[in-house]
Amino acid sequence: MAAGPPRDAETAATESKRAQFTDPAPDTDGNADADADTDTDSDAGTSGPSRRRLLSAAAAGSVAALAGCTGAIGGEAPLRVSIWSGNYADRFEESVVPRYEAEHDVDVEIHRGWNEILTDIRSAPADDPPYDVTVAEGNFYYYGRQADLFEPIRTENLENVGEIIDFYREMRDTEYGLPVDGAPCTIIHREDMDLEFDSWSALAADAVQNSAGIGVDTGFWWYPLYATAIAMDDERGAEEMHDPAMHDDVLETFEGFNVSSWASSGEDIWQAFDNEVIDVAQWYYDQTAYDIDDYDGLTHTMPEQTTGWLNNWSVVRGTDKRDEAEGFIDFLLDADVQSAWAEHAPLVFSNRNVDYPSELEADMPTTTEEAETIAFPDWETIGSHDDDLSEAFTAIQQGS
């Protein structure tokens, strides 16, 4: 999470680097890490089967049929793939895994996880990793590279690298991982609010300040702060987050928002709306676009300038399946694969030739110019301020 992201990315709670490189810790809401393997979708307030549920039901039959045919393909050890828990994993297993197994005659063994992903790799013997390939949003990718947890990607072995949108290839070092998928942040709000939510500055509007309140992600704290920086509009995008001299201004602005719910999962957000604790929320497009119709009286608006997460998929150090892991990443970069994946998961994809479903086309970038409207956190810049920002964010939460 993602959230992968990963969180998501998906958006169960994750810890900063201090937790990622120590023993696995509980989620910030007090639940054990094992709880992250449960789907955080809620049926509260449903108004009928969503598009995602219909696709899931159809895919389930296909997965079962393929499983009956493949078994332990060729008797070889499976390719072990680490991904974000929750509905990111559900949708990945529905749309990506069966196709890869059918096309490559290889079993894929999915490992669902959150903040323990890097810890598990670091704790394992260097020549016996727990996974062969892993998802890594910006924070995980930064700290994973710092700890030498990934193998360099031999791009000469990949066919689809040249189709990656330039912006995604250039915004981070891609030596140890290639950009595949992610999601922008969006604003969930009640339909009857008399306010335009096309900018993050709406969070400071009187209608929001006088509402029940705002819900924000407390696990991946950097996304609420990046949204705040965009709302300030003092610099281009979220450049306030990349200027240490402006961090106090960002934190002060964030503290002034009417935050009344600190969420560590999608379930927390939906429940806060249901309990009328909040009327607005900072959340993630991939957790919202295909699910929002399940919740009466709610809608969402993606601001024209927003923040978001992006996964760089990486080969885990010490794997004896380096070739297969690189091939799997190349498969994920394929335009047809990403187009089919988008039918199940409302994610941003990196291939410039991806065909999005009609309901996503207006929001999802397919060019560098469009992708630049998403201010992805720059961990090369904010990494050295991680502890200070995290502690300040926690202090605001505890004082609210």
CA distance linking residue 250 with residue 186, whole number of Å: 19
Q: Which residue has the tokens 């549920």?
A: 53
**CB-based contact 297:191 (threshold 8 Å):** yes
Contacting residues for 204 by C-beta, under 8 A, at least 6 apart: 231, 253, 256, 257
**CB-based contact 251:219 (threshold 8 Å):** no
pTM of the model: 0.83
Q: What are phi and psi of 205, to 5 degrees?
A: -70, 155
Q: Which residue has the tokens 């009286």?
A: 297
CA distance linking residue 177 with residue 396, whole number of Å: 34
What pLDDT was estimated at residue 210?
A: 97
Nearest to 374 by CA among 350, 354, 396: 350
In one-letter notation, the amino acid at residue 315 is V
Nearest to 316 by CA among 152, 202, 149: 149
Residue 78, judged by CB atoms within 10 A of its CB (0-12, 13-18, 19+), counts as: middle
What pLDDT was estimated at residue 287?
A: 94
* Helix (H/G/I), strand (E/B), else coil: 152: coil
Helix (H) or strand (E) holding 127: none
Q: Which residue has the tokens 């709610």?
A: 298
Question: Residues 133, 137, 143, 146: is their CA dihedral positive or negative?
Answer: positive
CA distance linking residue 375 with residue 238, whole number of Å: 6
CA distance linking residue 88 with residue 170, whole number of Å: 25
As a whole number of Å, the CA-based R_g of the chain is 20
Task: Enumerate domains of the chain plus CATH numbers.
Answer: 6-22+47-182+308-379 (3.40.190.10), 185-306+383-399 (3.40.190.10)
Reading the chain (400 residues) residue by residue, the pLDDT tens digits are 433 344 333 333 333 333 343 332 323 333 333 333 333 333 333 333 444 434 444 444 443 333 333 344 456 899 999 999 988 999 999 999 999 999 999 999 999 998 899 999 999 999 999 999 999 999 999 999 999 999 999 999 999 999 999 999 999 999 999 999 999 999 999 999 999 999 999 999 999 999 999 999 998 999 999 999 999 988 888 999 999 999 999 999 999 999 999 999 999 999 999 999 999 999 999 999 999 999 999 999 999 999 999 999 999 999 999 999 999 999 999 999 999 999 999 999 999 999 999 999 999 999 999 999 999 999 999 999 999 999 999 999 999 8
Nearest to 311 by CA among 333, 289, 343: 333
- DSSP annotation string for 172-240: S--SS-EEEEEEEEEEEEETT--S--SSGGGGGSHHHHTSS-EEEESSSTHHHHHHHHHHH-SSSTTGG
* Helix (H/G/I), strand (E/B), else coil: 36: helix
CA distance linking residue 382 with residue 372, whole number of Å: 19
What pLDDT was estimated at residue 4?
A: 33
